[in-house]
Structure 1
Amino acid sequence: MRTRWLALAALCFAELLVMVDNTIVNVALPTMARDLDAGISGLQWIVDAYTLVFAGLLLTGGYLGDRFGHRRMLLTGIAGFAAISALAASSQTLGQLIATRGGLGLFAALVFPATLAIITSIFTEPKQRAAAVGIWAATSGIAVAIGPVLGGWLLEHYSWSSVFWVNLPMAAVAVIAIVMVVPGTRPEAVSRFDAIGLVLSIIGLGLLTYSVIEGPHFGWADLRTIGGLVVAGIALGLFARRELTIAHPILDIRLFANRHFAAAAGMISVAFFALFGFIFLITQFFQAVKGYGPLEAGLRTLPFAVVMAVFSPIAMALSHRFGPRLVSVAGGLLMSGGFALVEVSSRMSGYWELIIWSMSLMAMGLAFISGPCTQVIMDALRPEQAGAGSAVNDTTREIGGTLGVAVLGSVLTSVYTSGVGDRLSQLGVPRAATTVAEDSVMAGIEVAARAPSQIDQQVRFAVQDVFVDGLHSAVWVAVAITAAAALAAAYFLRGAVGGRTAAPVVDDAPGSEIDGDVPARTA
């Protein structure tokens, strides 16, 4: 009994390692923008290179765990993650940093699905499994929220490269803990690898993210933007068609015939879309508009992690008592309400008067969605689907997060770049300086710092006001999407019960009945 909970602690620490990297760079973005001469799209790519590769290869990571053993892939992923972290810390150009961030995503894709697959195999009693999955889900949300805090502390004392060097000692601790307390697992069945499906999924997700991020710069009506979105849609359509027709898909599309599974996966994707997008925006707001340093900015995201930690077990208890439908619908509405509060913010808004309350509502909403919906997903899977199924669950998080940064960041960029030029021109700022300010809000603040003393404050206020306008526009998207998700969950999660979905997954294969209580074979 005790060994299982120690194993859970070790697995959650490994999960923490790779999830923190989703957001630890956010508070370093202003520094990176100056040191590496990066505009807003460059900053988006620093964040999204990681999440895009992470999301694109999670299904492969789950498959490799099923084929070669989840613990083996977990240890391989952690070792590779540490090695690439050293390369990322040594980057000298924006291109090098983006490339190494992609490399980190590759090895994170081996780690993340293995953690949940092992948890579902070693916790066989339903109530304990639900508690373990709830802790795992809470760790995911908390890790994303504490990333800016850890990054801020490091930047107060060291250069931006420290946000990557810190991965090395964390990886060493994770490896030691896993070797000591986590058992090896091997599933009952292993399928052939679908290389064509993998390529199609990477092309589709990659082009979709690229087109959304670069849309404000090329123009939304530009042939490159429209063509990229069309080709991405075709690639993803071909991927779905292939996965439905081959015997051994890397993503079993038939799982989504279960409306409980599909709705839960969609809710998690929407929740992390909102979370990642918000953290990308708010860390820049804290530094560019409120003037906080990296540590101050990071600490001001800490309430998100605290609220998430407090309400995650409450959410699981409520889910068992009232069912995941009611809890996840409440979560979507809470997140939507939290974003709606941001709409009344301005350059002068105080942290304690407004911002902390909006973050707290978002964190409570994420807690109400993440754990219960993860449990719905995992209860819908057979034991031999643990790796691929947990990868689907993880993929929804990362795809949602990737698109959150891409979409909300691009809405902000569209409003900021179109507005800041006009505002600065009215103040008599030279065109060359205005062009620099259009790259990013931090570049705009730098232009204000170098402006003549008689207009420097006006320039700074103009840049900040336009940034807040862009923030409001981006947040409206999050308000609408989270509210729509709540309504969808109210309809599609009908009949879902705490700890077990009511309907089995549609599957024509023999022995397709749901049997979540049978463990994988221990190696």
Structure 2
Amino acid sequence: MVLFLSGGFVSSDTTLEQSTWTIRQIWMLTVACCAVALVVAAMAALNTALPDLARDTGATQSQLTWIVDGYTLTLACLLLPAGALGDRYGRRELLMFGLLVFAAGSSIPVFADEPSWIIVSRVISGVGAAFVMPATLSLLTAGFPPAQRARAVGVWSGVAGSGAIAGLVVSGLLLEKWSWHSIFVSLAVVSVLILVVSFTIVTSKDTEATPLDLPGTALIAGSIGLFVLGMIEAPARGWLDPVVLALLVGGIAMAAVFSWVELRTRHPLLDVRLFANRAFGSGAASLTLQFLATFGLFFLIVQYLQLVLDYSPLQSALALMPIAVPVMALSVVAPLLIPRIGLRALTATGVAFLGTGIALLTRLDASSTYAEVCVPLVVAAIGLGLSTTPATAAIVSNAPDSKQGVASAVNDATREIGSAIGVALAGSILAAGYGNHVQPAVDLLPEPAKEPVSGSLAAALHVAEAAGPQGAQLAEFAREAFIKGMDQGALTLAAIMWVSAIVLGFWAPGRQRD
């Protein structure tokens, strides 16, 4: 009997009777997971250090934004070209090159810590991360036989899904004893260590050595870059701002031109016909939606923990740890469920659970206990664990073996695009909801206090603290306004996930038999 996912098939007997991993395979999986954990952790690590960094360097709010987003934007732009180069020149070699660039970029703030140099550091680190991330997954899909590949992808997915939390926790621990420089030092040191051990794993590449599609490379890098930049600017400028609209429309237009060019190129960077494959297309869409919801959830809950429940950055990072356990456990188990249940059931159920977990945020208030906070986090984590590995497996198993670097880059790019959309959407709705609900208090304040109080809860709490005992009522009112804005953001994200679960339930292929 053969079970298959629309375009790729696997023997059920082979799936049930997988052979034991060799020492070499386990070591390759370990190195790949360490590398992907590093680049994912680097996305979130600096969030806990921004207040200290701003105080020590005098960085403006705009510079702080680019210290965080410069890494993400560069990474998203270069993923597909980097994956293609790995297929052509060797995946291990590109992994090592990326680690070297990442280490060099992370080292810059140790010697030059002006805000402009920190931004340069993050951009260079993003270039390195773009070569590392697709190489880690493509090494596994090329280095493991089909019967063992799904389990390896499951472990990789679990590590990639929980890496951001690890970044927050480790950076919080570092800041307990050292300055924010220690985060950059640790990123550089770990990168060098992984680079050294990377010499011990085997490489793989496309034996045909097809030429690099330069027009496609330029178009897709520009498309993703413009779109992600538009999403980054939307919360600050507004969704109808001409610059934001130009960036978003420009990114979509370049994506359309990219598709047109790729259909007429003999050796395309990405064969866009793959998206017509139901498993590949629904897997890519599912990952985008999962990370839209997950990073939207992170954006809301971290601020709630710190500003409403008064957690420290380290406490808030540790509070998110319950997410990692179900994600890791279910990511490992999911490959065993795919041939028995099918992509459709796992994807639709996981996305629906993710939406339900986010909707449960509306049950939190200013007096909620940590146990009450854990409930939505665990429910959302169950959904993420059920749906992430099947989506990744659907992408890599329905792409040619010679193009695993590009397939891995598609997997990574969907995560980055979804993350950018999720933060922008949650941030915009939260800001609008908070502003509307805090307005009655703003109307009663003196003129100098109106703008900061209406701008954010953090600023409102600062004004309330400066006002002494009289500010307690303002702080309480502002927290309630924030919670109402958070509820609006959570319900919007949840509704998107529930509708998406229905769509994916029809789109994704089910369990089929030959």
- Is structure 2 residue 496 aligned with structure 1 residue 474? no
Query: What is the total number of aligned residue pairs between the two structures?
Result: 493
Counterpart of 2:480?
465
Amino acid at match of 2:389: G
Deviates more, 1:404-413 or 1:78-87: 404-413
- Is structure 2 residue 141 aligned with structure 1 residue 120? yes
Matches within 5 A, 1:447-458: 447-450=463-466, 452-458=467-473
Q: 1:87 to 1:284 in 2, by over 3 A?
A: farther
* TM-score normalised according to structure 2 size: 0.89
Q: 1:445 to 1:205 in 2, by over 3 A?
A: farther
Deviation at 1:39, TM superposition (A): 7.8
Q: 1:225 to 1:375 in 2, by over 3 A?
A: closer
Match of 1:396 among 414, 419, 422: 414
* TM-score normalised according to structure 1 size: 0.87
Q: 1:494 to 1:303 in 2, by over 3 A?
A: same
For 1:409 and 1:90, the matched residues in 2 are separated by 34
Q: 1:320 to 1:34 in 2, by over 3 A?
A: farther
Q: SS where residue 45 of structure 2 aligns? A: coil
For 2:426 and 2:54, the matched residues in 1 are separated by 19
* Conserved 8 A contact 2:345-2:510: no
- Any unmatched runs of 5+ in structure 1? 504-523
Q: 1:87 to 1:411 in 2, by over 3 A?
A: farther
Deviation at 1:50, TM superposition (A): 2.0
* Conserved 8 A contact 2:235-2:427: no
Amino acid at match of 1:287: Q
For 1:22 and 1:488, the matched residues in 2 are separated by 30
* Conserved 8 A contact 1:263-1:488: no
User: Per-residue CA shift, 1:29-60, capped at 9, x if unaligned?
Assistant: 45456556678776654433322221211001
For 1:91 and 1:410, the matched residues in 2 are separated by 34
Counterpart of 2:108?
87
Counterpart of 2:499?
484
Counterpart of 1:161?
181
For 1:35 and 1:232, the matched residues in 2 are separated by 36
* Conserved 8 A contact 2:443-2:450: no
For 1:36 and 1:476, the matched residues in 2 are separated by 38
Counterpart of 2:509?
494
- Any unmatched runs of 5+ in structure 2? 1-21
Deviation at 1:378, TM superposition (A): 1.4
User: Per-residue CA shift, 1:420-446, capped at 9, x if unaligned?
Assistant: 4x2452342x33333334554333332
Q: SS where residue 184 of structure 1 aligns? A: coil
Q: 1:98 to 1:402 in 2, by over 3 A?
A: farther
Deviation at 1:258, TM superposition (A): 0.4
Q: 1:133 to 1:49 in 2, by over 3 A?
A: same
- Is structure 2 residue 458 aligned with structure 1 residue 442? yes
* Conserved 8 A contact 1:40-1:439: no
User: Per-residue CA shift, 1:262-299, capped at 9, x if unaligned?
Assistant: 00111111111111222233222211111111111110
Counterpart of 1:142?
162
Match of 1:426 among 438, 443, 448: 443
Q: 1:484 to 1:36 in 2, by over 3 A?
A: farther
Deviates more, 1:31-40 or 1:146-155: 31-40
- Is structure 2 residue 198 aligned with structure 1 residue 183? no
Q: 1:448 to 1:370 in 2, by over 3 A?
A: same
User: Per-residue CA shift, 1:202-224, capped at 9, x if unaligned?
Assistant: 33333333333333443433333
Q: Percent identity?
A: 34
Counterpart of 1:203?
222
For 2:381 and 2:92, the matched residues in 1 are separated by 31
- Is structure 2 residue 272 aligned with structure 1 residue 253? yes
Amino acid at match of 2:478: V
- Is structure 2 residue 79 aligned with structure 1 residue 64? no
Amino acid at match of 2:508: L
Query: Which structure shows the bigger proportion of residues in helix conformation?
Result: 2
Amino acid at match of 2:104: A
Deviation at 1:72, TM superposition (A): 0.8
CA RMSD across the alignment: 2.4
Amino acid at match of 2:462: E
Counterpart of 1:370?
388
Q: SS where residue 24 of structure 1 aligns? A: helix
For 1:90 and 1:415, the matched residues in 2 are separated by 42
